[in-house]
A = this chain, B = another copy of it.
Amino acid sequence: MTDNQQLDEFGLIAELLAPLADNEAAEKLSDDAARVSVPDGQELVISADVLVAGVHFPENADGGLVAKRTIACNMSDLAAKGAKPHGCLLMLGVAPHWDSGWLADFVDAFGDSLKTYEMQLWGGDTVRATQGFAGLTVHGLVPHGEMLTRSGAQDGDDVYVTGTIGDAFLDLLRGGAAYADPQPPLAFGQALRGLANATIDVSDGLMADLDHLCVASGGVMEISAEHVPLSEAGKVHGDIKAMVSGGDDLQIAFTAAPQKAEALVKLAATLDIKLTRIGKFSSSPRKQALLLAADGTEIILERRGFRHF
């Protein structure tokens, strides 16, 4: 219970978030539910991610960073599913030190991201919390039956990854754009429909996520450590084990048949996406991704990813 002096749910929604929900489904949050139509022949891809202060972002993170990372983590899920962003609902747990300035930064950045990703705000809930959090349920659209999944990898597929790996991990140590303002490859993900056999977003850590894909697809991957794409900063840092398990990359890893290689290279060039072939997938009861050194020996990892729990 709060008194009228304090910022309340209705005040916050009315003043800050409502202008962002200027769409037919939400009607500027005038009601407490959105009505959403799905175009003929399309289906929804729905995912949810919640980020908690002190776990997923620093306690003292500014509102802009929290907004950008909350949306980007969820956009990364949609990118790996080949989905086009449609709309979202925001659950915001407002920490005591998130004052009106913090909230204004959050809403500014949130609004910018909605525009960038061409996504509608449909609603949500705002509550008081001692530990701040931001959760988003995102809805994307794909043509019926065409959602990309983790489970379709075929024996003999090549394994690819977009962008560079490990930069978000390095940025957490140094501060930088890969962590604070990631750019999930959404258009590339949508173009992978019909080209990729299995996809996953790299969020827990490259090797942990490739493991998930191997489990879902029933096979083993041989990943060449020397081919894992690193930025210049990553090469300088040099610890490949930290890079491939650092997490938060928000890139797409996927498998595709070797005969798709040419089309993939062309697509990446067209969309200005860095694309690297990093290994092979084989059907196998050993459902795991192996990181191999240049001499073919396995590089044993003590940790394969950042556990979000």
Interface residues of A (CB under 8 A from B): 1-2, 6-10, 12, 30-38, 43-52, 54-56, 77-78, 81, 83, 89-91, 93-94, 122-131, 133, 135, 137, 139-140, 142, 144, 147, 149-151, 201, 216, 306-309
Contact = CB atoms under 8 A, between A and B. Distances in A.
A44 B52 contact: no
A216 B28 CA distance: 12
Contact of A77 (B12, B32, B151, B307): B32
Number of copies: 2
Nearest to A35: B147
Contacts of A131: 129-131
Contacts of A93: 50, 52, 133
12 contacts: A12-B309, A32-B77, A32-B201, A35-B44, A36-B43, A44-B44, A46-B122, A52-B127, A89-B137, A94-B309, A126-B309, A129-B131
A128 B52 contact: yes
Contacts of A129: 52, 55, 131, 133
Contact of A309 (B31, B51, B128): B128
A151 B27 CA distance: 11
Contact of A37 (B123, B127, B144): B144
Nearest to A48: B89
B135 A125 contact: yes
Contacts of A10: 307, 309
